[in-house]
Amino acid sequence: MSPGVEALLEQARAGMARLTPQETVQAAARGALVIDTRTDVQRREQGDLPGVIVIDRTVLEWRIDPASDWRIPEATGYDIEVVVVCRQGYSSSLAAASLRALGLHRATDMIGGVDAWRSAGLPFTDKPADIRY
């Protein structure tokens, strides 16, 4: 495999069934955890998605790993469905691959990120974000 971030991204996405924004809405409806890893600045600029949990990328693995002492209550087992969302769908792929490496085999990400969500005409929320530290 050649070096570089594109090769890393290709490796991260290998075997992962990535979701469109519409499929992400369907996943949330069936109980998937949708995790937004965008920065506060990005969320202020782009808006917040309804029903997601906001977790800073730097602590994502500790909050989602069911064996972690710092997990969120929703991280109940390694079989939970997790969809990671970022601004454009790049860092979310790497984050989802990291969760898969932890054993969360149903972790994936949303193709195109919040930019694709907006392009699909899906709603944003004006309610306070569910931010987990």
Distance CA 36, CA 44 (A): 13
Give the helix ranges, DSSP H, for the chain.
5-13, 21-29, 40-46, 60-64, 91-101, 113-119
Name every residue whose Cβ is closer than 8 Å to that of residue 43 and which is 6 or more positions away in sequence.
Answer: 36, 54, 129
pLDDT for 68-123, tens place per residue? 999 999 999 999 999 999 999 999 999 999 999 999 999 999 999 999 999 999 99
Q: Could you tell me which residues are beta bridge partners of residue 83?
A: 34, 108
The range of the structural domain enclosing residue 38 comes to: 5-132
pTM (two decimals): 0.95
Q: Could you tell me which residues are beta bridge partners of residue 85?
A: 36
Q: CB-side exposure of 2: number of CA atoms within 13 Å?
A: 6
Enter the tokens of residue 16.
Answer: 């992962």
Q: Name the domain count of the chain.
A: 1
Q: For the domain that residue 23 is a member of, what is the CATH number?
A: 3.40.250.10
Of 12, 94, 92, 82, the C-alpha closest to 52 is: 82
Give the model's confidence band at 3: pLDDT under 50 very low, under 70 low, under 90 confident, else very high.
Answer: confident
Helix (H, G, I), strand (E, B) or coil at 23: helix
Give the model's confidence band at 1: pLDDT under 50 very low, under 70 low, under 90 confident, else very high.
Answer: low
CB atoms near residue 71 (< 10 Å): 16
Distance CA 7, CA 23 (A): 26
